[in-house]
Amino acid sequence: MDEPLGVLVVDKPEGPTSHDVVDHIRHLYGIKRVGHAGTLDPPASGVLVMGLGKATRLLNFLQGLPKRYLGRVRLGVSTTTQDATGQTVSEERCSFTAEDLLRVAEGFVGEIAQTPPMVSAVRVEGKKLYESARRGEEVDRQPRKVRIYALEVTDIDLDKWEASIEVLCSSGTYVRTIAADIGEKLNCGAHLSSLRRTAVGSFIEAEAVTLESLSAMDEGERMAQIIDPAMAMRDFPVVEVSDELETAVRHGRALDTDVLPARGGELPMVLESRGGDIAPHQAGMTAGIPVAVVDRSGNLLAVYRRSRQGLKPATVLV
């Protein structure tokens, strides 16, 4: 059987690291080249988009897609990690109303500045923050701009001082930091007690498969779970090229503006928010909108990036 090639949507359980899941998939499919588009911390569960074989090259584009999360916030208690794995820093008496919480949450929608937590993998002076945190060091971090497309408080329990939130955000957003910042604005502190990712772009939890289910499948069933590379780029514009241009694509040559798609591309329905559809250039695609280039049969040949001059190759799969 051919080497697996494509994208796999896994429902990561609570407990293992994202790298643990990568190792598990390597073992199940008997393949070394496996990667993922966006880390989920060990306590978090949900959608983990994985690339197999040459499709690992697509992860650079997929990880920039907006993401949707469901989180549970414990108000009145701050921790060292902004989630339930850390040590308690402070406990404050809560005195806000449900209306106060809704008002504060609404203020996070839009472009905001967010300071990465010390437990993140962000690099400062070449060192990952979580490595410094393990040594007990506190590092100065510069706030980064992220975009919150929607933030809804779906449940409020003022007896337990807990609330559930649903967040649709740009890549690179820390939901734990949103929880902590909400607590700070309510003058009582808070941390994220649980987190589940329900979507990465159009990849939703309904199509995600658990590790247990994959382990119970035979080889043919497991292969059937893999999404074709062309379909894996479904959140981006698509250009179908002629046989003549296919040769140019295979050699990694730039393409002229006359082969650009008629439309700039649209992100799927799952990414709709109150503000309307989210354009791809707002989804972390700072180096130019990725464009999937396919042959006449719909097979993915390469991914190009859109520029003023036309299309320039980003990665060639054939």
Question: Which residue in 2, 11, 41, 83 is the catalytic one?
Answer: 41
Return the domain boundaries, the chain.
1-66+201-232, 69-195, 235-318
The three-class DSSP label of residue 268 is coil
What pLDDT is stored for residue 135 in this prediction?
54
Give me the CATH code for the 235-318 domain, please.
2.30.130.10
| b/e 145-165 (16+ beta carbons within 10 angstroms → b) | ebbbbbbebeebeeeebbbbb
Distance CA 58, CA 36 (A): 10
Amino acid at 11: D
In tens, the pLDDT along 86-144 reads 999 999 999 999 999 999 999 999 999 998 765 655 555 555 545 544 555 555 667 78
Alpha helices in the chain (DSSP H): 18-29, 59-62, 98-106, 129-134, 175-185, 211-216, 219-224, 229-232, 243-250
In tens, the pLDDT along 186-199 reads 999 999 999 999 99
pTM of the model: 0.87
Q: How confident is the model at residue 176 (pLDDT cuts 50, 70, 90)?
A: very high
* 243 catalytically annotated: no
Quick one: 69-195 is in which CATH superfamily? Pseudouridine synthase (3.30.2350.10)
Cα→Cα distances 119→21, 68, 73, 113, 199, Å: 20, 21, 18, 18, 23
Query: Looking at per-residue confidence, does 24 or 269 come out higher?
Result: 24
In tens, the pLDDT along 219-229 reads 999 999 999 99
User: Using H for helix, E for strand and C for coil, what is the string for 36-50?
Assistant: ECCCCCCCCEEEEEE
- Torsions phi, psi for 313 (to 5 deg): -65, 135
What pLDDT is stored for residue 206 in this prediction?
95
| Identical fold, 1-66+201-232 and 69-195 | yes
Fold classification of 1-66+201-232 is Pseudouridine synthase (3.30.2350)
Q: How confident is the model at residue 256 (pLDDT cuts 50, 70, 90)?
A: confident
The yes-or-no verdict on residue 28 having pLDDT over 80 is yes
Percentage of the chain beyond pLDDT 70 is: 82
- Torsions phi, psi for 22 (to 5 deg): -55, -45
